[in-house]
Amino acid sequence: MCGTKFDIAKIEGDFYNIESPEINVDSIINIIIDNISSVDVKINIMDRSFPPAVEQKINHNLLKSKRRIVLHYKSYSSHIETAYYIADKSIVNGKQNAMFLLNEMYCLSLEKYEIDAFKPDINQIRQHADDIIGDVINQLKKFVYKSANVTNFKEQIEIGVSVVVAHAFVECFILENPNATN
């Protein structure tokens, strides 16, 4: 095992060794992931086709390695809207808040690649599309694990995060809409 060791001899001033407050707060995304992961889904890993509108968005953004998350989404697509509906029933604007959060994560990722989130350059997005999706996935995983209502099984979180990010991609909250007019 490799690590960094710190020897602290003396601490002066205020020192609080407490958990971060966001760890004690529930997350809408975790409710959605829990609902998605509790449905009985038949996954056909051999079906690698996309609906035409999704294929157009994949091609428009030049998504390559991360397009596989859309395959995960396809198996759960009929259930994700139900999961958002359930969240909306118990939380005012549940879906809207979750989608806003995902779009904010997308904008933070754009900034990481020095792309203007207000007026994104599609050529820069195409250059970094897979990395941007990967970055949003990583941000969402960190967010989910820091929430109080984290799902019990890691596999559920991994699949749920992929499905939620892919849904946000399909709904044009992440990456760019080929039909948008600038």
What residue spans of the chain are helical by DSSP H?
Answer: 28-37, 52-61, 68-90, 94-112, 122-145, 154-170
Per-residue DSSP letter, 178: T
Whether 54 maps to a domain, the answer reads: yes
Of the pLDDT bands very low, low, confident and very high (cuts 50, 70, 90), residue 54 is confident
Q: Judge whether 27 and 83 are in contact, CB under 8 Å.
A: no
Whether 175 maps to a domain, the answer reads: no
Among 10-19, 55-64, 122-131, where is mean pLDDT lowest? 10-19
Distance, CA of 40 to CA of 28 (rounded, Å): 21
Distance, CA of 69 to CA of 74 (rounded, Å): 9
Of the pLDDT bands very low, low, confident and very high (cuts 50, 70, 90), residue 122 is very high
Whether 147 maps to a domain, the answer reads: yes
Whether 155 maps to a domain, the answer reads: yes
Whether 11 maps to a domain, the answer reads: no
pLDDT at 138 over 80: yes
Q: Judge whether 167 and 67 are in contact, CB under 8 Å.
A: no
Q: Say what the pLDDT of residue 15 is.
A: 61
Q: Say what the pLDDT of residue 63 is.
A: 92
Whether 120 maps to a domain, the answer reads: yes
Distance, CA of 45 to CA of 71 (rounded, Å): 8
This prediction has a pTM of: 0.80
Those residues whose C-beta lies under 8 Å from the C-beta of residue 174, and which sit 6 or more positions away, are: 102, 103, 105, 106, 132, 133, 136, 165, 168
Whether 10 maps to a domain, the answer reads: no
Which residue range is the domain that position 132 belongs to?
23-39+49-170
Q: How many residues does the chain have?
A: 182
pLDDT at 102 over 90: yes
Whether 3 maps to a domain, the answer reads: no
Count of domains for the chain: 1
